[in-house]
């Protein structure tokens, strides 16, 4: 006896899936910008002159890298409202969890990039009269960012995959909509196959592009 | 100002610890399954036989590129329909994470195997070893040493990813925390305690990994 696949309920509900896709992309875009942006600040704080800034940044990186992102999202959703008298929506909780987690990971990527620039470049820039900040902005960061671009792209792909965790706090994204369709039509096999395929078809070209980018940068270096 | 009160958590600490135990069991099972699956996938992908390399490549790419939560739902809700069997949360979780970590381990194995100098397998063949012997006795022992840091990192990622099984009600640490939060109406304390438990466990495991890594590096120098 073989199971007969039936994709018609999914096709009938394409609008629900489209709505989910919009939610996924919205959450991804916000977390990508906040996560990679804040990560750079954390990385710079980690090499700051002030000990306090370094400690706070190391503590932040260690804590967010050594706890599961789902625990972080649930903490912001269920626990944070006890501390602060504001309502936390599923969207906000997911943004907090995923962005801070990605900031901790990307901070380490930026750090590796900045460290890979030889000290001679700093010294040369200082010698021609640039300030530390100018050196960082004009000389070091442009080269460091280029070197870590593949690692950052990988982080972006991870962020995209992580957005599915927001379904746990009932944020409306692809997987959440899939769950809804599956429970109404009793067709989880088709639903989760299609959702998985959608993610694969969208992300795999990006994965290949990252490989290509890596090879190109390796050759030009 | 919120008044923290951890007494309900101390009273039910055994629940959280039982959850942590289940987290560790699942991680260990997925590791024990994932490493051989990963090695098999890597060898198949490197075999040069297209009939083996193509399916292995597909499994590796699909499981590395799709979100783990979608994979878990597929195995838990979808697979029983094809196989016409009953699926338990534990079985679905073990299957998902065995194959998924296998896919990631496969790429680490592959990179490790490829990194061993080609002359090594050629000279092994020249002194009469079979391909399998050369792989087992010459290539893999060297590759494993180089792969260890990446393997360790992946195992820690695996442990963190197992939290997803709480969504299919496998009683891991996160699931127990969620139950306890509802029972005690103390989500702040419970989720904070759970986060700290994860943090301590994962920090200990990575410290242990770093220690083993240093030992291996030292013993490598001595034998040379």
Domain ranges of chain B: 11-223
Flag whether the ipTM exceeds 0.85.
yes
Which of A62, A70, A80 is the closest to B164 by Cβ?
Answer: A70
Q: Is A183 within the bounds of a domain?
A: no
Q: What pLDDT sits at residue B2?
A: 82
Contact A199 B65 (CB under 8 A): yes
The gap from C-alpha A174 to its chain's centroid, in whole angstroms, comes to: 17
Domain count, chain A: 1
Q: Is the CB of B214 inside 8 Å of chain A's CB atoms?
A: no
Structure confidence at residue B145 (pLDDT): 86
pLDDT at residue B117, rounded to an integer: 86
How many CA atoms lie within 13 Å of B150's alpha carbon, on the beta-carbon side?
Answer: 16
pLDDT at residue B180 in the model: 95
**Any chain A CB within 8 A of the CB of B187?**
yes
Residue B220 has pLDDT above 90, yes or no: no
Residue A140's domain comprises: 23-172
Residue spans of alpha helices (H) in B47-136: 50-65, 68-73, 79-83, 89-115, 118-126, 131-133
Contact of B16 with B191, CB cutoff 8 Å: no
pLDDT over 70 at B91, yes or no: yes
What pLDDT sits at residue A205?
A: 96
Tell me the nearest-neighbour CA distance from A170 into chain B, angstroms. 12
Structure tokens at B60: 């590796």
Q: For position A63, which CATH number holds?
A: 1.10.3720.10
Identify whether A11 is part of a domain.
no
pLDDT (0 to 100) of residue B224? 44
Distance CA A153, CA A172 (A): 25
CB pairs under 8 A between A and B: 116
Position A143 scores a pLDDT of 94
> Quick one: which of A3, A2, A15, A14 has its CA closest to A189?
A3
- Rounded CA-CA distance A33/A155 in Å is 12
CB contact under 8 A, A164 and B69: yes
Chain B residue numbers with beta carbons less than 8 Å from the beta carbon of A63 are 199
Q: How many CB atoms lie within 10 A of CB B140?
A: 18
Cβ partners under 8 Å of residue A117, min gap 6: A139, A140, A143, A144
Chain B residues closer than 8 Å to A189 by CB: 74, 77-79, 81-82
Query: How many Å apart are CA B12 and CA B184, to the nearest integer?
Result: 10
How confident is the prediction for chain B on average, in pLDDT? 93
Site from B9, B60, B70 to mutate, A interface, most A CB atoms within 10 angstroms: B70
Closest CA to A142 of A156, A159, A125: A125
d(CA B64, CA A46): 31
Tell me if A90 sits within 8 A of A170, measured CB to CB.
yes
pLDDT exceeds cutoff 80 at B166 = yes
- Touching check for A117 and chain B: CB below 8 Å? no
- Computed over every residue of chain A, the mean pLDDT equals 95
Of the candidates A147, A192, A31, which has an alpha carbon nearest to the alpha carbon of residue B168?
Answer: A192
Core vs surface per residue A103-135: b (16+ CB within 10 A) or e: bbbbbbbbbebbeebeeeebeebeeeebeeeeb
Q: How confident is the model at residue B10 (pLDDT cuts 50, 70, 90)?
A: confident
Give the lowest-confidence range in A48-62, A207-221, B76-90, B159-173.
A207-221
pLDDT for B87 beyond 60: yes
Length in residues, chain B = 224
Which of A108-117, B95-104, B112-121 comes out lowest in average pLDDT?
B112-121
Whether the Cβ atoms of residue B206 and residue B164 lie closer than 8 Å to each other: no
Q: What is the pLDDT of residue B221?
A: 57
pLDDT of residue B144: 87
In a domain, A202, yes or no: no
Per run of 10 residues, the mean pLDDT along chain A (length 221 residues) is 86 95 98 98 95 97 97 96 92 98 98 94 94 93 94 97 97 97 94 97 96 89 66
pLDDT of residue A74: 97
Taking domain B11-223, whether its CATH number is 3.40.190.10 is answered by no
With a pLDDT cut of 70, the percent of chain B lying above it is 98
What pLDDT is stored for residue B19 in this prediction? Answer: 97
- The band of B57, judged by pLDDT with boundaries at 50, 70 and 90, is very high
């Amino acid at each position: 006896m073989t199971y007969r696949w039936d994709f018609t309920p999914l096709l009938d509900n394409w609008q629900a899936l489209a709505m989910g896709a919009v939610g996924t992309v919205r959450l991804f875009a916000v977390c990508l910008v906040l996560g990679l942006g804040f990560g750079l600040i954390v990385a710079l704080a980690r090499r700051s002159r002030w000990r306090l800034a370094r400690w706070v940044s190391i503590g932040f990186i260690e804590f967010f890298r050594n706890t599961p992102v789902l625990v972080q999202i649930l903490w912001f959703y269920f626990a944070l409202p006890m501390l602060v008298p504001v309502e936390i929506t599923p969207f906000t909780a997911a943004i907090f969890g995923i962005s801070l987690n990605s900031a901790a990971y990307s901070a380490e990527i930026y750090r590796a990039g900045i460290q890979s620039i030889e000290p001679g470049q700093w010294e040369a820039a200082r010698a021609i009269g640039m300030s530390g900040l100018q050196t960082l902005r004009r000389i070091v960061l442009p080269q460091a960012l280029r070197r870590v671009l593949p690692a950052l792209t990988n982080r972006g792909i991870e962020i995209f995959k992580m957005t599915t965790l927001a379904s746990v706090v009932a944020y409306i994204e692809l997987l959440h909509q899939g769950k809804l369709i599956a429970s109404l039509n009793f067709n989880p096999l088709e639903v989760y196959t299609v959702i998985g395929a959608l993610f694969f078809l969208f992300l795999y070209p990006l994965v290949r592009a990252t490989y290509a980018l890596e090879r190109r940068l390796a050759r030009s270096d | 100002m919120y008044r923290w009160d951890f007494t309900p958590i101390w009273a039910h600490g055994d629940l959280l610890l039982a959850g942590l135990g289940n987290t560790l069991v699942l991680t260990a099972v997925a590791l024990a399954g994932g490493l051989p699956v990963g090695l098999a996938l890597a060898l198949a992908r490197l075999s040069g036989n297209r009939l083996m390399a193509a399916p292995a490549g597909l499994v590796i790419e699909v499981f590395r590129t799709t979100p783990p939560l979608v994979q878990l739902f597929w195995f838990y809700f979808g697979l029983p329909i094809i196989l016409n069997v009953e699926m338990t949360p534990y079985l679905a979780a073990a299957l998902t994470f065995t194959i998924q970590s296998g896919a990631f381990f496969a790429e680490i194995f592959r990179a490790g195997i490829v990194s061993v100098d080609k002359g090594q397998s050629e000279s092994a063949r020249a002194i009469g070893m079979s391909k399998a012997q050369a792989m087992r006795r010459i290539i893999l022992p060297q590759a494993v040493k180089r792969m260890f840091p990446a393997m360790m990192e992946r195992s820690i990622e695996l442990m963190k990813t197992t939290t997803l099984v709480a969504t299919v009600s496998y009683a891991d640490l996160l699931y127990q925390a969620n139950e306890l939060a509802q029972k005690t109406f103390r989500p702040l304390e419970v989720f904070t305690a759970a986060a700290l438990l994860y943090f301590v466990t994962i920090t200990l495991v990575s410290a242990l990994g770093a220690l083993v890594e240093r030992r291996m590096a030292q013993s490598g120098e001595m034998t040379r």
